[in-house]
Amino acid sequence: MMQPETTLNRELAIATHGLTKQFDRQIAINDLDLRVEAGEVYGLIGPNGAGKTTLIRMLTAVEEPTAGEIYLFGDRLLRDDSNPKLKQRLGYLPDDYPLYDDLNVWDYLDYFARLYGLKNPRRRERIYEILELIQLAEKRHSPITTLSRGMKQRLSLARTIIHEPILLFLDEPVSGLDPIARMQFREIIKILQEAGMTILISSHVLSDLAELCSSVGIMELGFLIESTSLQDLYQRLASPYITLKALNNLDILKAELNNCPWVSSWEALPENGHFRLHFCGTPENSATLLRTLVQSGIAITEFTLSQEDLESIFLKMGHKQAS
Ligand SMILES: Nc1ncnc2c1ncn2[C@@H]1O[C@H](COP(=O)(O)OP(=O)(O)OP(=O)(O)O)[C@@H](O)[C@H]1O
């Protein structure tokens, strides 16, 4: 069995070795070695049934692994009572945790703060602190039923971090939220990261992960098929492309595109004069192309060099669905 290297693991918030979970005959997590460095926001992407929830449940000691080991900040995580201090350092927001609708915001947080053994005056101080963070201070006397979905989700997050964990697990935290609520949630995550927390988030909303994460892991059928920095993923897999709009001389334009060494292929988009070019040159090469087109007498009104987003990269990888 692979022995963890203590010196290496000290840098790692999460390290798993051969982590496996089998339900009856189905292997939900397959011999998975995950590494997440301290201070990272790590995004876990994968289609339904890929194993994200099962992995998070094992990393938070909710689910027993069938095989393998989990180390958090170098300490072995076990489901027994052997390391309560380690579990105190974790926060976990499951994707389906119910709120107690009959409580108001303050009483709800007070209830969880008591569960974690926070005593006054620190308890009161901490609740105020966290209400400021989630921007619900003015709603502290409101019943939970009267909150919007976005507010409820921020309150759930507050409950998850009331005991000041250093490692946070969020399972699909923004699913079902509207764009503004998602943005507000993202802002809080950024603040928590700046405060030094390590955060693992699973999501289908890939654009949210792209905005937040420093690294991503892609799961498929219980395997971690990719785990790398976002920057590396973009460099390896995101192809640059150019969109342009021309008003005239479309035949000359097409000939120029066919001759251009940096345009690997191009397509005319449905709207007249719009084109999308697969581009394999540098930004300087794109400026040269633009100059050439203008000098050929083509009236260009739009010319934008972009990179494929995380969503396209993910689709391009041709992931397999488990369910
Ligand atoms: N308690 C269980 N008993 C039996 N099978 C399970 C159990 N929990 C999960 N599974 C199976 O394990 C696989 C992984 O499920 P999991 O919920 O971890 O995936 P996921 O990536 O979180 O999916 P989703 O995005 O839909 O939440 C699925 O095929 C699921 O049916």
Q: What secondary structure does DSSP assign to 191-260, as a single string? A: HHHHTT-EEEEE-S-HHHHHHH-SEEEEEETTEEEEEEEHHHHHHHHPPEEEEEEESS-HHHHHHHHHH-
CB 23 less than 6 A from any atom of ligand 1: yes
| Per-residue confidence (pLDDT) for residue 319, from 0 to 100 | 56
CB 272 less than 6 A from any atom of ligand 1: no
What CA–CA distance (Å, rounded) separates 58 from 111? 26
What CA–CA distance (Å, rounded) separates 143 from 128? 17
Q: Is residue 198 part of a domain?
A: yes
| Per-residue confidence (pLDDT) for residue 257, from 0 to 100 | 96
**What kind and span of H or E run contains 149?**
helix 149-161
| CA 228 to each of CA 178, 213, 237: distance values in angstroms, whole numbers, following the listed order | 29, 11, 12
The 10 Å CB-count burial string (b at 16+, else e) for 47-73 is bebbbbbbbbbbbbbebebeebbbbbb
Report phi then psi at 258, rounded to 5. -65, -30
Residue nearest to atom 2 of ligand 1 (CA): 23
Q: Is residue 69 part of a domain?
A: yes
What CA–CA distance (Å, rounded) separates 33 from 18? 6
What CA–CA distance (Å, rounded) separates 99 from 151? 12
What CA–CA distance (Å, rounded) separates 52 from 223? 10
Q: Are residues 53 and 188 in the same domain?
A: yes
Q: Are residues 205 and 258 in the same domain?
A: no
ipTM of the complex: 0.96
pLDDT string in tens for the chain (323-residue length): 444 444 444 489 999 999 999 998 899 999 999 999 999 999 999 888 899 999 999 999 999 999 999 999 999 998 887 777 888 899 999 987 777 778 999 999 999 999 998 998 999 999 999 999 999 999 999 999 999 999 999 999 999 999 999 999 999 998 888 889 999 999 999 999 999 999 999 987 777 788 889 999 999 899 999 899 988 888 787 788 999 999 999 999 999 999 999 999 999 998 889 999 999 888 999 999 999 999 999 999 999 998 888 777 777 776 544 43
Q: What is the value of pTM for the model shown?
A: 0.82
Residue nearest to atom 25 of ligand 1 (CA): 48
224: CA distance to ligand 1 center in Å?
Answer: 15
Which of 200, 235, 270 lies at the terminal end of a domain, its last residue?
A: 235
What CA–CA distance (Å, rounded) separates 72 from 89? 10
CATH of the domain at 203: 3.40.50.300
311: CA distance to ligand 1 center in Å?
Answer: 22
Reduce the DSSP state of residue 314 to 3 states and report it.
helix
What CA–CA distance (Å, rounded) separates 251 from 272? 13
DSSP state letter for 64: -
Q: Is residue 322 part of a domain?
A: no
Structural domain boundaries enclosing 286: 239-307
197: CA distance to ligand 1 center in Å?
Answer: 27
Q: Are residues 230 and 254 in the same domain?
A: no
Residue nearest to atom 7 of ligand 1 (CA): 23
Do the beta carbons of residue 281 and residue 262 sit within 8 Å?
yes
190: CA distance to ligand 1 center in Å?
Answer: 29
CB 323 less than 6 A from any atom of ligand 1: yes
Q: Are residues 256 and 134 in the same domain?
A: no
CB 295 less than 6 A from any atom of ligand 1: no
CATH of the domain at 268: 3.30.70.100
Q: Are residues 281 and 171 in the same domain?
A: no
Q: Is residue 298 part of a domain?
A: yes
Q: Is the dihedral of CA 225, 230, 236, 240 positive or negative?
A: positive
| Per-residue confidence (pLDDT) for residue 1, from 0 to 100 | 42
| CA 213 to each of CA 90, 104, 154, 217: distance values in angstroms, whole numbers, following the listed order | 19, 33, 19, 10
Q: Are residues 261 and 127 in the same domain?
A: no
Q: Are residues 244 and 211 in the same domain?
A: no
283: CA distance to ligand 1 center in Å?
Answer: 43
Reduce the DSSP state of residue 161 to 3 states and report it.
helix
Q: Are residues 138 and 97 in the same domain?
A: yes
CB 52 less than 6 A from any atom of ligand 1: yes
Q: Is residue 316 part of a domain?
A: no
23: CA distance to ligand 1 center in Å?
Answer: 9
Q: Are residues 164 and 249 in the same domain?
A: no
CB 322 less than 6 A from any atom of ligand 1: yes
Which of 196, 213, 235 lies at the terminal end of a domain, its last residue?
A: 235
Q: Are residues 89 and 217 in the same domain?
A: yes
What CA–CA distance (Å, rounded) separates 321 from 323? 6
Which of 218, 235, 252 lies at the terminal end of a domain, its last residue?
A: 235
Nearest CA among 225, 221, 203, 200 for reference residue 60 = 200
Q: Is residue 321 part of a domain?
A: no
Q: Are residues 227 and 213 in the same domain?
A: yes
What's the structural domain count of the chain? 2
Give 58's contacts (C-beta < 8 A, 6+ positions apart).
19, 21, 29, 64, 65, 70
Q: Are residues 179 and 202 in the same domain?
A: yes
CB 150 less than 6 A from any atom of ligand 1: no
Q: Is residue 212 part of a domain?
A: yes
Residue nearest to atom 17 of ligand 1 (CA): 53
Q: Is residue 231 part of a domain?
A: yes
